[in-house]
Every structure is written in C-alpha cells, then in structure tokens.
Structure 1
Amino acid sequence: MMAPKLMPPGLMIAAPASSSGKTTVMLGLLAAFRAAGLRVQPFKSGPDYIDPAFHAAASRRQSLNLDSWAMTPGHIARLRSVAAGADLVLAEGSMGLFDGVAQPGESGSGASADIAAAAGWPVLAVLDISGQAQTAGALALGLARFREDTRIAGVILNRVASPRHEALARAGLDAAGLPVLGALPRRTDLSLPERHLGLVQATETPELEALLSGLGRFIADHCDLAAIRALGDSSSAPHAPNAPLQPPAARIALAQDAAFSFIYPHLIADWRAGGATILPFSPLADQAPDPSADLVWLPGGYPELHAPRLSGCESFRNGLQSFARTRPVHGECGGYMALGAGLTDAEGTRWPMAGLLGLETSFAKRRMHLGYRLARPHQQIKAFSGATRLRGHEFHYATITAQPDAPLAEVQDATGAAVPETGSLRHMQEGGMVSGTFFHLIAPQSGKGTRA
C-alpha cells in the first residue's frame, strides 16, 4: 500500500482577539518568505474577501477561504490540495482562535481552531501586549490548554513598547513554556487602510508593493524566520476531497470592477473546473453583459460608493434588462442592491438602479447585518445549480426600505433563528428569472448527508 502523500508544512496565524495584528504578521511573513525564495500558499479561515486579496499580492499565489461552518470536510480537503508544490502553508485566522458560532455547521463552529486541527497545523499566536507584560504568558497558556486538538507552537509579541516591556513579557512566556519567535515594536507607518467592512481592498491601496515590502522587512528584522518555518507540520494529504461544485451555466457573465468584486475564488475555480467559461464585464465602465452568456452574476462590493456613476450607466442597465427577459440574472449583497429599484446613499440621495427587482435600500441610517446564513430556496434556482441548501454569510450596513418581490428562500442565522432578509425572486414574462440575496454564497449543497 502506497504511503499517503505529504502536504507542505503549515501554520495557522491566530490570536486571542480581533485587531491583535494577525494580518500584519501574516502579510509580513508572506512577503519575507517570498523574498527568501520560498513558495508560500496562503489561506484564510472564515468568510472574508479582503484579506485574501492582500495575501495574494504578498505571496503571488491565490489565497482561498476555508470555512468549517459552511464547508464539508471533503470540500475543505479539496481546497487544501492547492498547496501541493508549495514550500510552506500559512493560514490566517479570524477573530479569536476559538471564536465561532454556538450551533455547529458542516465541519465545526467556524472557528480557526477547527481548520488548524483538521489540517494538523500548529498555531503561531500573535499577542497584543499593550497594557500587559508577564500576564501575556497566562493568556498564551490559556490558549494552549483550551482544546486538546489545537497546539500553540509559538508566540509573536506585538505592539511592544520598550526593551524592558519585551523582557517582562518574555519572562511570562518562559514561565508558560512557550517560545517567543518575534517581538514587534509599535509602528504606525505600516498600518493598512480601513473601511467599514474591514481593510480597503488591495486594488485600491496605493503603493501596495512598497507597503508589503516594508512589512516583510519589519517581520524579518524582528522575528526568527527560520524557527517559524521549522514550526510547520507536514500533514497527510486529504483523503476524500469532494468533486468540484457544478457550475450554474456554461457561460457566466461575471461583473468585476471596483463596485462588484466580492466573490470567493473557490467558486470561480469550481465553475471553471466544471467546464464553464467566465465572461468578465464592468458595470462601472458602462459595459453590458456578454449577450452570448447563459447567466449573469453580480457579486457583492461597494455599489453605494459608486451609486451616482452606476445610476448613469445606461448601456449596462439596458443590456442587463434585455438579458434578464430570457435568461437568469443573480446578484448578491451589493449586486442585489444594484438589481433593485433604487439605492439611497449616506447623504440621503436616492439613485435609480437597474429596476429588475423592487428592492429599495438605504445607507442614510446604517445598521450592521453580520453572520452566517443557511438558506433553503423555495424553488430550484438556476444560479445555484438547483442546490437545496445554501451556506453563506451576510455582512453589510444597508437598510431595506422595500422588498416587494417574492422571497427567494427561507433564511436562518447560525442559531436557527429566522432572518428577514429573505432575498427576492422575480419571473420575467419571456422566461427569464431575476434573483438576489443579501448573503454571500460560500457553499451550495444538495442537502444529502448535511446537517439541518
């Protein structure tokens, strides 16, 4: 019997809480290892569009999301397999290491620890030691003992105020028996710009290469790269990867520009693996979808930042309306808003949108909507390849002021509570179908063998 093929050694970069410095460390390590000639495969734990784009810029390899709440073990196994041929895997966690939802999903609660345990990756913990010293050792020891299947292999101290501060914190980590592999002094000149959904997108960040190079040098100067690389464990290759997800159409017109950029790379990869052709177009450039397409997909993004321009794109709007008469059109989050009747911006000005749905949304009074979503469509939807369950997440600040069309699905949060953002569905007279959701799709499922 042949021995299972080993995957590259890997590490999970995690922390006790958000805003501890995970992304700074992740990007700095990716840039530093790439500068040293290593091929590093990045991943992101949990739902996130923006961090993986920065990972890709720093590593020159596409970063994929791994999500234990939304994805089956076989799905995660298949995505992990893209690391074959790399020298090292680095995965960035989300929130705190053990933070997830109360009710498990397909493979776990959505916690970064679920992914680390399943992959066999040790954890490199980033500790923000602002306002503490030896107590950092107690915090790290608590992380190390919380779950038996999760191993804290080392620590990077972040926001170190002085050599004395570092020495005291190191004493606490020594007492806890955990190695300190880096100590990062406070820096304000290497911070990444932020927007209300997190970081500003990588494509919008000026002098990105200089910023990433600076982060790489910063990490290389203050961390033991050789010791960090040596922490990574090689785990056996995934044994039972799922087949790629079935594409919803043979030719998919995909909106791609500054207003519509939030779609998970694993979905596009699956569509292509299933034989689909992706036909990008830019609504902001007033481009209509390719008339040879079988389906139009408008991803999420920031249409509210471009509402005046988008409202004036007549070729896009007319082409989309013509397409929708006979073929399916789907939008999610920002794309859903763009399919609606109107969008009111933060200043209270209403801008007409495509008008294919009656949806009215407003940013005049912002309210955050955040969390995992489980949706059961009321009928088969072409855009979802007829899947009976859709696992995804919702993250936006828009308020619905009108949602008059038929609901697309029964939607619940991770606790099983009903969510009023049901999405919308409208059948067109000539056979077309327009659908939209506020949740971003992560994994469509047939419903067989999955949790309720």
Structure 2
Amino acid sequence: MNMPPGLMISAPASGTGKTTVMLGLLRALAEDGLVVQPFKSGPDYIDPAFHRAACGRASYNLDSWAMGEGLLAAIGAEAQGADIAIAEGSMGLYDGVAGAGATGHGSSAETARRMGWPVVLVVDVSGQAQSAAATALGFARYAPDLPFAGVILNRVASPRHERLVRLGMEAAGIRVLGALPRRGDLKLPERHLGLVQAVEHPDLDRAIAEYAAFLRTHVDLAAIRDAAAGGLKTHPAAARLPLPPAQRIALAQDAAFSFAYPHMLEGWRRAGAEILPFSPLADEPPARDADLVWLPGGYPELHAGALAAATRFRAGLVRHAETRPVHGECGGYMALGAALIDKDGQRHAMAGLLGLVTSYEKRRMHLGYRRAVLQSPMPGHPPGAALRGHEFHYSTILEQPDAPLARVTDAEGAEVAETGSVRGRVSGTFFHLIAEDGA
C-alpha cells in the first residue's frame, strides 16, 4: 500500500528550536486543509502529545533501534489517508547508538532513510553568519544517500544577519526554506525530563497558533510541501502493532502517570483490549474487574505527597495484587515501591507492593536504550522473552530487595543495575517497553 510523501524535521543538535518549528508546521499545514500525519523519531513520550494538539491526529514514535521492520511498517501505515507525513527528529540528525555504523543505529537519519523522507535541517545561526553554511553542508554531505531538502534558519538577529547567512548557504548550494527571527517568547517551558506535558501547558492552542502564524510569515510552506517525498511502499504481512497483555487493563492516567507510547496503547485497543483509565492523584482505585493494572511512567517525584495520601488508590492496588498482576514502568515502578524520597529529602510511603526505595534528592541521570531478557514473567511476556525499551530518569535506587525481573543491558551490551523487580504478581522496570526483540 502506498503512503503519503513525508519529511524529517531535524537539526544539528538538541535545543535548536526544531520542536517549535514542527508544531508551527503541523498547524499551518492543517490550517491549509491538509491531513497531516505526525511522527516522532526516537523514544520520546512527551512530544507526540504536542503533535496531536497541533494537527488533531495521533502521533507515533518510529525507533529503528528498538523496532523491527514489521513494527516500523505497521506504525508507518498510520499515515494512510493523510496528505503528508511530518516527523520530528531527536537530538542531532546523526546521533544514535555508538559502534553501529557511521550514522549511528537509531538515529533520525536512519529513520528518514528507511522511510525515504528528505531532511529539513533547522539550524540555529545565532553567533555566526556565513559559517552556518559549513555546518549545513557537512550535514548534507555526511550521508550521500540521505535526501536533503534544505534548511530553516532559526534565531536570525537582523535582516543584515539573514543576508550574510543566505550568502553562505547560496555559495554552498544549500536551499534556504525559511528564516525565523529571534523571538524569546516562542520557547516551550521545560522541566527535568524535557518539555512540560502538553496537558500542563497553560494555553497550548494559542501558543501553537502563534507558532503557525510565525512560520507562515517566514517560511516557504509551498516549497516544504513540494520537497516531501518517500513513504513506505509496502506493508509486510508480519507487520502488526503490539498485542495487549490482558483483556481489561486499568491504566493510570494523570499528571503523575502519562508516559505511555502511543503505538502500545493503540495496539492494545485494536486487538480488542479495553483500557480503563483511572487517576491515582485523584485517589481513584483501579477498576475492580480489571485483569491487569498498568502504571506508566511520569512524574511521581513531583507528586509524592499526594500519592502517599491517596489511600483509596493504594488500597485498590493492594487488593488487586492479591489475585491479579500489577506492573509499573519507571515512575509507575517507583510508585509500587516502599518509599520515594523527594527533592527536599522527605520520605513518602508508596504502595509497598515492592521493596524498592528511590530518591529524587540524590539525582543522577539514567538515560539510554535497554534490552531486557526476562528472568520472571511480566504481563504479556513469559520468562526468557527479550524486550527492547528506553530508560530516562533522575531518581536513584537506594534499596531494591526483591528478585530481579530481568537481565538488562544497554545498547552496547553492558549490563546495567536497573534490573527491575518482581514480588508475587507485582513487577516493575525502570525502562519503558517499546517492543519485543525483533518485532
């Protein structure tokens, strides 16, 4: 089956403004009457919610390290019925797993190459002029087989600055698709895991509308549409979204628990599972007739006091675990533990279904891909199953007395200490599950 043409919005590095460009582009194209399918390259669970707010269509992650060809094809097929697909890259265009080839396995460049999408590079030109062309030329030529559509200049200081940068790009043969003047009010608010969540933005729709108007004034939207190309041409018979781990799944969903990959939840729904949302922060217990309770990641460290006071939620978890499975990922794993120590050093009692004690006072970044071979079952997967996921948190384990759930290694095969835990019917991991190995 044929997919619509697409583009990859990427950059030389993080912090160049590509998310703002992405949101403005999605909204502007949607305002022009196009059906736009957004994607996110890499294991980001915050940006897809912003994409959906911008164009009204669910956004999905594409991850060439964690996903096999079948799952990539199944997720790419979500673009059916759209007029154009727009993907947002992660970090720098060629940043990926070390030692896996010149471009880095799991990079945005690899995603773009597999999908056949030309790259639009967002270049922060502050502090330079013609020299920006050398950066763009290097990115354009680093992988000759990767289509390169052109650049959008960001944080341009003045008309004279823009003229000088354009002269350099012209000399290098790099097409300029737009030039965005410097505006400090177009920056999205952030916290320790990246952007604040879309639901927490005080006036997100107005902000995105302003991004769209800004891009419409300073970017050649027609040229960007014309540059789109590629898209998966076939849909392998083996392609499918992940299957659900149970029939009726009670899913924690609120400001403390929201980091669930869209392709996972969509796969569960399409296979016939019933998702039963509940809010631990509102002291709601999981549905009594649920087959499984699933606590996704999020920000329990910012809501530890409220979670400790949520007696109905905690009692409901304990009751469920007496007869049926409970699983937590990252923040959900922390909430299943004995205690969580917040940034001020205050200890808060958590559900106590695992012995895990974590501290956000003693912060250290844990970041990277993970491959886990299960030593015990977890919902939907038997012992011995190999899973792929991603870990990103700042909390430190102080106590982990329970049996390890899995043998966990990073993308280079080195073992990591965050093995997850299992006690009876309760399990948890610090990595967010993306796919079965090879799926």
Q: Name the TM-score class by shorter chain.
A: over 0.9
Given that residues 78 and 238 in structure 1 are in contact (C-alpha distance below 8 angstroms), is that contact kept between their aligned partners in structure 2?
Answer: no
- 1:61-87 Cα distance to aligned partner (Å, 9 max, x none): 000000010000111111010111111
Assess, with a 3 A threshold, how the Cα gap between structure 1 residues 414 and 103 changes in structure 2: closer, same or farther.
Answer: farther
Q: Which residue does 2:360 correspond to in 1?
A: 363
Q: Number of residue pairs matched?
A: 437
Q: Which residue does 1:376 correspond to in 2?
A: 373
- Residue 153, structure 1, aligned to residue 149, structure 2: yes
Residue 36 of structure 1, CA deviation: 1.3
- Residue 439, structure 1, aligned to residue 431, structure 2: yes
d(CA) in 2 for partners of 1:386, 1:244: 21
Moved more, 371-380 or 401-410: 371-380
Given that residues 118 and 148 in structure 2 are in contact (C-alpha distance below 8 angstroms), is that contact kept between their aligned partners in structure 1?
Answer: yes
Residue 144 of structure 1, CA deviation: 1.1
**SS of corresponding position for 1:203:** helix
Q: Which residue does 1:290 correspond to in 2?
A: 287
Q: Which residue does 1:342 correspond to in 2?
A: 339
Residue 365 of structure 1, CA deviation: 1.6
What amino acid sits opposite 1:408 in the alignment? L
Given that residues 371 and 413 in structure 1 are in contact (C-alpha distance below 8 angstroms), is that contact kept between their aligned partners in structure 2?
Answer: yes
Q: Which residue does 2:14 correspond to in 1?
A: 18
Given that residues 69 and 108 in structure 1 are in contact (C-alpha distance below 8 angstroms), is that contact kept between their aligned partners in structure 2?
Answer: no
- 1:78-131 Cα distance to aligned partner (Å, 9 max, x none): 1010111111110000011010012449x9711000110011000001000111
d(CA) in 2 for partners of 1:313, 1:384: 30
Q: Which residue does 2:94 correspond to in 1?
A: 98
d(CA) in 1 for partners of 2:37, 2:264: 18
Instruction: Return 5+ residue gaps in structure 1 as ranges.
Output: 428-432
- Residue 165, structure 1, aligned to residue 161, structure 2: yes
Equivalent in 51, 63, 67 of residue 59 of structure 2: 63
d(CA) in 2 for partners of 1:85, 1:282: 34
Assess, with a 3 A threshold, how the Cα gap between structure 1 residues 173 and 385 changes in structure 2: closer, same or farther.
Answer: farther
Given that residues 387 and 444 in structure 1 are in contact (C-alpha distance below 8 angstroms), is that contact kept between their aligned partners in structure 2?
Answer: no
**SS of corresponding position for 1:322:** helix
Q: Which residue does 2:80 correspond to in 1?
A: 84
What amino acid sits opposite 2:294 in the alignment? W
Assess, with a 3 A threshold, how the Cα gap between structure 1 residues 386 and 274 changes in structure 2: closer, same or farther.
Answer: farther
Given that residues 338 and 353 in structure 1 are in contact (C-alpha distance below 8 angstroms), is that contact kept between their aligned partners in structure 2?
Answer: yes
d(CA) in 1 for partners of 2:398, 2:96: 31
Q: Which residue does 1:230 correspond to in 2?
A: 226
Given that residues 338 and 352 in structure 2 are in contact (C-alpha distance below 8 angstroms), is that contact kept between their aligned partners in structure 1?
Answer: yes
4+ residue runs of structure 1 moved beyond 3 angstroms? 383-387
Equivalent in 406, 410, 426 of residue 409 of structure 1: 406
What amino acid sits opposite 2:406 in the alignment? A
Given that residues 40 and 47 in structure 2 are in contact (C-alpha distance below 8 angstroms), is that contact kept between their aligned partners in structure 1?
Answer: yes
What amino acid sits opposite 2:48 in the alignment? P
**SS of corresponding position for 1:284:** coil
Given that residues 123 and 154 in structure 2 are in contact (C-alpha distance below 8 angstroms), is that contact kept between their aligned partners in structure 1?
Answer: yes
- Residue 254, structure 1, aligned to residue 246, structure 2: no
- Aligned residues: percent identity? 63
Q: Which residue does 2:217 correspond to in 1?
A: 221
What amino acid sits opposite 1:146 in the alignment? Y
- 1:187-245 Cα distance to aligned partner (Å, 9 max, x none): 01111100010100000001111100000000000000001110001435233151232
Equivalent in 268, 273, 277 of residue 274 of structure 2: 277
Given that residues 76 and 232 in structure 2 are in contact (C-alpha distance below 8 angstroms), is that contact kept between their aligned partners in structure 1?
Answer: no
Equivalent in 306, 309, 314 of residue 312 of structure 1: 309
- TM normalised by structure 2 equals 0.97
Moved more, 235-244 or 167-176: 235-244
Residue 262 of structure 1, CA deviation: 0.4
- Residue 126, structure 1, aligned to residue 118, structure 2: no
- Residue 112, structure 1, aligned to residue 108, structure 2: yes
d(CA) in 2 for partners of 1:253, 1:270: 16
d(CA) in 2 for partners of 1:378, 1:253: 25
Given that residues 68 and 108 in structure 1 are in contact (C-alpha distance below 8 angstroms), is that contact kept between their aligned partners in structure 2?
Answer: no
Residue 381 of structure 1, CA deviation: 2.2
Q: Which residue does 2:183 correspond to in 1?
A: 187
**SS of corresponding position for 2:418:** coil
**SS of corresponding position for 1:261:** strand
What amino acid sits opposite 1:15 in the alignment? A
Q: Which residue does 2:23 correspond to in 1?
A: 27
Assess, with a 3 A threshold, how the Cα gap between structure 1 residues 438 and 285 changes in structure 2: closer, same or farther.
Answer: same
For the aligned residue pairs, the C-alpha RMSD in angstroms reads: 1.5
Instruction: Return 5+ residue gaps in structure 2 as ranges.
Output: none
- Residue 138, structure 1, aligned to residue 134, structure 2: yes
- TM normalised by structure 1 equals 0.94
- Residue 40, structure 1, aligned to residue 36, structure 2: yes
d(CA) in 2 for partners of 1:338, 1:204: 21
d(CA) in 2 for partners of 1:339, 1:300: 11
Assess, with a 3 A threshold, how the Cα gap between structure 1 residues 310 and 236 changes in structure 2: closer, same or farther.
Answer: closer
Equivalent in 364, 384, 394 of residue 397 of structure 1: 394
Given that residues 41 and 111 in structure 2 are in contact (C-alpha distance below 8 angstroms), is that contact kept between their aligned partners in structure 1?
Answer: yes
d(CA) in 2 for partners of 1:131, 1:202: 31
**SS of corresponding position for 2:269:** helix
Residue 358 of structure 1, CA deviation: 0.3
d(CA) in 2 for partners of 1:377, 1:387: 5
d(CA) in 1 for partners of 2:350, 2:330: 14
d(CA) in 2 for partners of 1:404, 1:150: 49
**SS of corresponding position for 2:7:** strand
Q: Which residue does 1:351 correspond to in 2?
A: 348
Q: Which residue does 1:430 correspond to in 2?
A: none
Residue 275 of structure 1, CA deviation: 1.6
What amino acid sits opposite 1:44 in the alignment? K
d(CA) in 1 for partners of 2:241, 2:118: 28
d(CA) in 1 for partners of 2:231, 2:297: 35
**SS of corresponding position for 2:428:** strand
Assess, with a 3 A threshold, how the Cα gap between structure 1 residues 358 and 411 changes in structure 2: closer, same or farther.
Answer: same
